[in-house]
Chain A
């Protein structure tokens, strides 16, 4: 293989961190959804994302070949070693905040996986092909909710527009090309290459939702990919990692 396995491991870790952190966030809705069906829907999405995260962590562990396991990577790294996008670590807020965050991420994940399915690295393409089918259901779900809330009552319209506006500054980072992406040229897609597809999907759905698309060239928050996170990530990890850190040999 012409790519360094340490770079592939770092790439898989970023994808793992994105899906694990968002899966963990969505799990917080379990038992708190507005109605039973939506509670179940979000926990199903969370389960898929955590399943995808496991696949990426297993890959990363194999490529690192330093004896670390998927569990070590998920539970024994501190916040500054996490390479997830800032968007996925943001608090759930209200239902509209969660669904706006989800729609931004699902559409990104959909186009990412579409490209990654064609990767010449068999581990990455296999997981991407599998995850792509799951994520198309996620994107359909979150898009439907954007439309339902945007084209709903005056109050739901106002609130979802506010959620979209507030979270917009965290979408730019999704399409940031980093040195790692460039080192893996040919193995993985450059995020900037599917930004136009993503924006087109935003326009399409926002038009149906009668929502205003914020300025794509507005100032964007960055840093997550380089380990510079919002204060929220530490709290997620504190809760998620507590048990395996306090009782390292705990078994089910």
Chain B
């Protein structure tokens, strides 16, 4: 991701666009915005990487980004879907991770693992409520494509985990 200082106005606008399914973090904090380019005619090009191929929020995100930019006076914006390199949870910013945890979703632990080993033990995920590392994976699939279900063995609360991808 290249972030030119002269485009900071555009980046600031995109930072106001939230993920509709995780309305605590912006699409910039999630690392979904890959580039911002200004074409000679003043037209804007923005590259957005979807998190999962089937994520139903992707269309809403693209629409929200366009609306936010149009609202700020960028009438001609081309939004390009960037599949390669594929989006990874490694691109979620430190700020984004802190906000996820404050919102009640455990942020991804470590970097997106090499999944060739099918039965690698699940990482120690910290309970976003009581901060215990004593937690158990309930299911690798949760309420949205990007999340897994965990339960804390100390405070007993179930919680979402933003799984590594």
The residue of chain B having its C-beta at the shortest distance from the C-beta of A45 within the complex is B141
Q: Which of A145-183 contact B (CB under 8 A)?
A: none
Q: Is the CB of B84 within 8 A of A40?
A: no
Select A129's contact among B50, B54, B86, B145, beta carbons within 8 Å.
B86
Number of interface residues of A (CB under 8 A): 31
Q: Which of B16-45 contact A (CB under 8 A)?
A: none
Q: Is the CB of B140 within 8 A of A40?
A: no
Q: Is the CB of A48 within 8 A of B145?
A: yes
6 closest A-B pairs by beta carbon, nearest first, are: A51-B54, A51-B53, A126-B84, A136-B115, A41-B141, A126-B83
Which secondary structure dominates where chain B touches chain A? loop
Given A54-B54, A130-B53, A131-B53, 11 further pairs, Cβ under 8 A:
A40-B142, A41-B139, A47-B56, A48-B145, A51-B53, A51-B54, A52-B54, A55-B83, A129-B83, A136-B115, A137-B163
**Residues 36-47 of chain A, each 1 if its beta carbon lies under 8 Å from chain B, else 0:** 011011001101
23 contacts between A and B (CB under 8 A): A41-B141, A47-B54, A48-B53, A48-B54, A48-B145, A54-B54, A55-B83, A122-B84, A126-B86, A127-B53, A129-B83, A129-B84, A129-B85, A130-B83, A133-B88, A133-B165, A134-B52, A134-B145, A136-B115, A137-B140, A137-B163, A139-B118, A140-B115
Q: Is the CB of A54 within 8 A of B53?
A: yes
Q: How far is the CA of A62 from the CA of B84 in the complex (A)?
A: 18
Select B139's contact among A37, A50, A205, beta carbons within 8 Å.
A37
A50 to chain B: which residues have CB within 8 Å? Answer: 54
The residue of chain B having its C-beta at the shortest distance from the C-beta of A23 within the complex is B54
B149 to chain A: which residues have CB within 8 Å? Answer: 37
| Interface status of A125 (Cβ within 8 A of chain B) | yes
| Interface status of A29 (Cβ within 8 A of chain B) | no
| Interface status of A188 (Cβ within 8 A of chain B) | no
B85 to chain A: which residues have CB within 8 Å? Answer: 129
Q: A44-B145, A139-B118 are in contact. Are A52 and B139 (CB under 8 A)?
A: no
Q: Is the CB of B145 within 8 A of A140?
A: no
A48 to chain B: which residues have CB within 8 Å? Answer: 52-54, 145
A205 to chain B: which residues have CB within 8 Å? Answer: 118
Tell me how far the C-beta of A202 lies from the nearest C-beta in chain B, rounded to whole angstroms: 12
Tell me how far the C-beta of B117 lies from the nearest C-beta in chain A, rounded to whole angstroms: 10
| Interface status of A143 (Cβ within 8 A of chain B) | yes
Q: How far is the CA of A44 from the CA of B143 in the complex (A)?
A: 9
| Interface status of B112 (Cβ within 8 A of chain A) | yes
The residue of chain A having its C-beta at the shortest distance from the C-beta of B165 within the complex is A133
| Interface status of A141 (Cβ within 8 A of chain B) | yes
The residue of chain A having its C-beta at the shortest distance from the C-beta of B85 within the complex is A129
Which of B85, B86, B138 has the most chain A CB atoms closer than 10 A to its own CB? B86
Q: Is the CB of B140 within 8 A of A141?
A: yes
A126 to chain B: which residues have CB within 8 Å? Answer: 83-84, 86
Q: How far is the CA of A38 from the CA of B149 in the complex (A)?
A: 11
Q: Is the CB of A133 within 8 A of B145?
A: no
Tell me how far the C-beta of B30 lies from the nearest C-beta in chain A, rounded to whole angstroms: 16
Q: Is the CB of A51 within 8 A of B52?
A: yes
Q: Which of B74-119 contact A (CB under 8 A)?
A: 83-88, 112, 115-116, 118-119
B112 to chain A: which residues have CB within 8 Å? Answer: 133
Tell me how far the C-beta of B35 lies from the nearest C-beta in chain A, rounded to whole angstroms: 15
